[in-house]
Structure 1
Amino acid sequence: MIWILALLAAPSAPAELAPAGPWAVSTEEVGCRVIRPYGPDNAVEVGFETIVTSRRRTLLLAAPKRSLPDAIGETRVSLGGGEDLRLNYGAFAMRDSGRRLLKLFPDEGALRQLSDATSMKVGKADAPTLKMTGTAAALQALDTCTTELLQSWGADPQLYLQNRMAGIIGSTAAPFTRETYPAEARTAGVSGRVVLLLHTKVDGSVARCTVVASADERLNAGSCAVAVSRVRMKPPLDAQGKPMESYGVLPVNWSNP
């Protein structure tokens, strides 16, 4: 009898949490996000993110700290139908001190499983189970946003996404010196970080430079001028070992002398 009463008194599993709104797509500085709120107070959010400069899609989960792991590591993602994924993650603080943001890194196979899943549970045993609907359409919207962002930079989306990235030859910082500091920025005492998208030809020269993120617009023209004239890239090779036209991403940190 005591055993039966103990079973009756045991806490029940958390109910499946339903979406509180539609998927919403937004353009970030160097990527796109699609986010959906859950629960009556929107305390849980699920989403996907593309950071175009790294060409990977990330699963996002914002939820109360008590239900999510912290730091970095690997965690289980339980999907409807008894499927489980093991995904690497990084945990990040949020302005809302009661919540934590988890960024999980699925490969293409895991993304397909997430796309088909009817529910998802991440992290600790008391974490909520989330009802998943419209995920395939959300990922398609994310891809469309990414394509449009690349086009806004003047990049060829197919070339960018299909070919491997070109790498810089030599030190990243070597071309960006006191002597090549953008004159207008130097005069104004401006420092900061600029992220450049470099369209690389098969010979490793830079055909075109686009600023995709910048601390100050007075750094932009000078940064691209240095990249086009002084940076050499190592283009990726095709299946026959021949160099391919591609893109490379180059972050530049200017510190006013």
Structure 2
Amino acid sequence: MRISLLTIGLALPAVLAAMPAQAKVVEITPSSRWNLDYGETKCRLARLFGEGDAKHVLFLEQYWPGQRVGMTVAGPSFKRFASRARTDLAFAEGQEPRRTEPFAGAVEGYGDAVIYSQINIGAALRDDAEEAAADATEDLTLPLLDKEGARKAQFVGLKQRGDEYRLMTGPLDQAFEALDACALDLVGSWGLDAEAQRTATRMPQWTNRDGVVRRIVATYPREAARTGEQGIMRMRVIVSPEGKVEDCVILKATETDRLDSPACRAMANAQFEPALDAAGQPMRSFFAESIVYQMGR
């Protein structure tokens, strides 16, 4: 689930999409194993690719259990990638690339980066019928990463205006198993019963979503708007058995100077149908969203 992106009237420069005459595929092989960081507020899978001056890094991050991950790739191959420009994204040979518009940024020690707020890698590797069936249940029970789809992964491939750069990950199912375990551990750190969440028959359902979302997207922080600052936030609320918001936390997924989301103030008025446990009884649970603040184009 994602809150609608905020758009205000600051035009960004256009990007020309001229295709070089001889675009090629550049494969970058792993130079480390996966490393999983059990952070206080997030789980991060990291892996290095390439060596020396050609060193790259891939991060897959979760702030709560779900079918989507935040994804960042960084390294010299992405030096000319422009922010919010059309980028073809693929994970396996023969897969129809997805047209995406990621952010550009930087990662200390690795240089230029391409940043995705949330992406469902497993669904991208399934056919349309399989993807529709998975999406139909996402909002009802606790969603976890799609390991079956991720088993089909061969690489993370990005192409913007010329060559396609592939980080050769191989299958991602075992990596996703570990990331799921970490995300469920996070749930316990919030004072919730992780097993009860995993076996819930229904997660919280936001009943006055439209009105609250309008308040959130109508209040782009003034200083950030003035300087054109953009960013990705993660919002998590604890929902009581009565469907009330007990607590709200905003975490920055990208570094910002003046961009601080007012979303938690609006969420004080949010109303939910509470989560239901394995026996169908209301229980304490959580609801989470990604919020992307971006300037108009």
Specify if TM > 0.5. Answer: yes
* Cα distance in 2, alignment partners of residues 53 and 93 from structure 1: 25
Match of 1:122 in 2: 158
Whether contact under 8 Å (1:166, 1:247) holds in the other structure is no
The reply to whether residue 198 of structure 1 matches residue 210 of structure 2 is no
The reply to whether residue 37 of structure 1 matches residue 48 of structure 2 is yes
The reply to whether residue 164 of structure 1 matches residue 203 of structure 2 is yes
- Runs ≥4 residues deviating over 6 A: 168-172, 210-214
Which segment drifts farther, 150-159 or 14-23? 150-159
In structure 2, what residue type is equivalent to 1:200?
S
The reply to whether residue 24 of structure 1 matches residue 64 of structure 2 is no
In structure 2, what residue type is equivalent to 1:120?
V
SS at match of 2:165: coil
In structure 2, what residue type is equivalent to 1:90?
P
In structure 2, what residue type is equivalent to 1:61?
V
Between the two proteins, the alignment pairs up a number of residues equal to: 204
Structure having the larger proportion of residues in strand: 1
In structure 1, what residue type is equivalent to 2:84?
I
SS at match of 1:72: coil
Q: Which protein, 1 or 2, shows the higher relative CO under an 8 Å CA cutoff with sep ≥ 6?
A: 2
Q: C-alpha deviations, 1:203-223, integer Å up to 9, x for none?
A: 3246x6587869xxxxxxxxx
Whether contact under 8 Å (2:243, 2:274) holds in the other structure is no
**Structure 2 unaligned residues grouped into runs of 5+:** 1-20, 125-145, 214-234, 253-267, 290-297
* Cα distance in 1, alignment partners of residues 275 and 99 from structure 2: 30
Q: CA deviation at 1:117?
A: 2.1
In structure 1, what residue type is equivalent to 2:271?
M
How is 1:134-173 mapped onto 2 (pairs within 5 angstroms)? 134-160=171-197, 163-167=202-206
Match of 1:99 in 2: 112
Q: CA deviation at 1:138?
A: 0.9
Output the TM-score relative to the length of structure 2. Answer: 0.52
SS at match of 1:116: coil
When residues 11 and 53 of structure 1 are mapped into structure 2, their CA distance, relative to the original with a 3 A threshold, is closer
In structure 1, what residue type is equivalent to 2:155?
S
Output the TM-score relative to the length of structure 1. Answer: 0.59
* Cα distance in 2, alignment partners of residues 81 and 196 from structure 1: 36
What's the % identity of the aligned pairs?
Answer: 19
In structure 2, what residue type is equivalent to 1:109?
A
SS at match of 2:102: strand
Match of 2:271 in 1: 233
SS at match of 1:52: coil
SS at match of 2:37: strand
**Structure 1 unaligned residues grouped into runs of 5+:** 1-9, 173-194, 215-229, 251-257
Q: CA deviation at 1:95?
A: 4.8
Q: C-alpha deviations, 1:72-114, integer Å up to 9, x for none?
A: 2553223443113315343142254841232162264126544
When residues 136 and 30 of structure 1 are mapped into structure 2, their CA distance, relative to the original with a 3 A threshold, is same
Match of 1:46 in 2: 58
2:94 to 82, 86, 98: 82
Q: C-alpha deviations, 1:34-68, integer Å up to 9, x for none?
A: 01110003632123211228873233322336466
When residues 39 and 108 of structure 1 are mapped into structure 2, their CA distance, relative to the original with a 3 A threshold, is closer
When residues 149 and 66 of structure 1 are mapped into structure 2, their CA distance, relative to the original with a 3 A threshold, is closer
When residues 52 and 145 of structure 1 are mapped into structure 2, their CA distance, relative to the original with a 3 A threshold, is same
* Cα distance in 2, alignment partners of residues 101 and 211 from structure 1: 26
Whether contact under 8 Å (2:83, 2:103) holds in the other structure is yes
* Cα distance in 2, alignment partners of residues 107 and 14 from structure 1: 21
1:61 to 70, 73, 82: 73
For the pair shown, the structure with the greater C-alpha radius of gyration is 1
